[in-house]
Amino acid sequence: MPKPVNSHEPTKTRILEAAETLFAEKGYAAVSVREITAAAGVHLAAVNYHFGSKKRLYFAMFEQRLLPRVMSVRPPIEALLQRGNARPAEMIKTLVRSILENPWPDDRRQVTARLISRELSQPTEMFDILIETYFRPMVQMIARLLSPFLGPDMTEESLLLNTLSTIAQITYFSNGQPVVTRLTGRPYDADFIDQLVGHITDFSLRGLGLERKPC
């Protein structure tokens, strides 16, 4: 448990921080309250005093730390939408970059991505909240961003699938880091992330039919 303990934070915050890290690493079931309190440098009973139970600690962590952080990704992308004059290449590149090298603090990037991916692949009671407050608005916003360029004859569903194909790549290269590193031999440093952003942008632009190949 090499996690620094921030001993000036209040007990409650220390618990939330430690819980977040551990839940992200191992998953809810594999983490014990003892482990969390030890990592947080607080006494065992503190979790039940402050949160009532282990499950409610998870929910509190989710609502108070995870959700606010993921919501913070949206404003910059919304700003892009408001401007209204961006070109598709620029839009997609910004989108990809804003998620791949996201604005969360360095020590929380991996943690945040893992918690989201965990919740999406193994829904708990938080699944609905995550979908409706974060994921669906995000997808709709991206779809609205793209839709003017994709032609008016495209169905809603087709627009959605195209949006999801773009998101699929971002998600895959973001969450699948262990696999990608293993296969390419490249660690996720600034260099490689740049390259990934470029690749995903190009592939998606072509996939969306927004960039013509020589014919």
158 binds, among its own copies, DNA, none (CB under 5 to 8 A by kind): its own copies
Among 73, 126, 196, 197, indicate the residue that binds its own copies (CB under 8 A). Answer: 196
Determine if 117 is a binding residue for its own copies (CB under 8 A): yes
Distance CA 159, CA 179 (A): 29
Residue-wise DSSP of 98-167:
HHHT-SS-HHHHHHHHHHHHHHHHS--TTHHHHIIIIIHHHHHHHHHHHGGGS-TTS-HHHHHHHHHHHH
Determine if 146 is a binding residue for DNA (CB under 7 A): no
Determine if 44 is a binding residue for DNA (CB under 7 A): yes
Among 19, 24, 31, 113, indicate the residue that binds DNA (CB under 7 A). Answer: 31
Distance CA 187, CA 180 (A): 9
**Taking a C-beta distance cutoff of 8 angstroms, is the pair 12, 40 a contact?**
no
Determine if 53 is a binding residue for DNA (CB under 7 A): yes
DSSP class of 213: P
Question: Which residues are near DNA by CB under 7 A?
Answer: 10-12, 31-35, 42-50, 52-55
Question: Which residues are near its own copies by CB under 8 A?
Answer: 26-30, 114, 117-118, 120-123, 127, 131, 135-136, 139, 157-158, 160-162, 164-165, 167-169, 171-173, 175-176, 178-180, 182-184, 186, 195-196, 199-200, 203-204, 206-209, 212-213, 215
